[in-house]
Amino acid sequence: MQIEGTGALVAGGASGLGEATARRLHAGGAHVVIADLNEDRGQALERDLGDRATFVRTDVTDEDAVLDAVSAAASQLVPLRIAVSCAGIGWAARVAGKRGPHPLEPFETVIRINLIGTFNVLRLAATEMLENQPTESGERGVCVNTASIAAFDGQIGQIAYSASKGAIVGMTLPAARDLSTVGVRVCAIAPGTFDTPLLASLPEESRDALGEAVPFPSRLGRPEEFAALVAHIVENEMLNGEVIRLDGALRMPPR
């Protein structure tokens, strides 16, 4: 799939991995819809990118909101062929401890945003892609979801986050198989420790320690590196049903 001249939807596209992805796809010639709850950052990115960039305030767990974002992407001069889901949150708590059991509400919230939100974008974007004229090879679109190495190496206190990301890993292959007959590919990226707003609040020494734990390169990942992999997945049509770790060979210890 060529990036130039296509429509792209980036959920969670106003910051972090999503912002880098929106910038990379836009630089490649795509018409990009930035779907995010953060209006200030989303509108600022829209202005910064200029032509071929549109911000749509979007709650990924809301069907109507995602439909609006998909419609905005489909209403461009080019069809929607790329959908990337980067929206997500985290929560730290043990299953049980001195303070009692893990609170149920934040667990449900993490699952709803990270997993159900990702599925919501996937199903609605893929449905729109069904209307596309296929390329010469029969391809109509590609969807890239964001998992995490926490899906495989979940640390103490990461039960909610790991469960949500593990489920994204688990739905990658069946989603790719479901959509194979209509020429829509599905992949997921499982990033390690990346320099995103989620880590920006940590003290510098803590951030340095996280980077030093990566075998090579011994640093935090850069959002642009995530975006580069998204672009490669889009352009390499043999990548389908795959979860790709992007972690510098990091395997997370228990804590």
At 91, is the secondary structure helix, strand, or coil?
coil
Assess contact for 194 and 150: CB atoms under 8 A.
Answer: no
Distances (CA, A) of 222 to 54, 164, 229: 24, 23, 11
SS3 236: coil
Specify whether 161 is catalytic.
Answer: yes
Q: Which of 55, 91, 161, 194 is catalytic?
A: 161
Q: Tokens 């985290």 belong to which residue?
A: 90
Instruction: Mention every residue, 6+ apart, whose C-beta is less than 8 A from residue 27.
Output: none
Hey, what amino acid is at 73?
A
| List of long-range contacts for 156-159, beta carbons under 8 Å, 24+ apart | 156/94, 156/254, 156/255, 157/92, 157/93, 157/94, 157/255, 158/90, 158/92, 159/93, 159/94, 159/95, 159/102, 159/107
Q: Which residues are paired to 191 by β-bridges?
A: 246
Non-local CB neighbours of 206 within 8 Å, separated by 6+ positions: none
Reduce the DSSP state of residue 1 to 3 states and report it. coil
Catalytic residues: 161
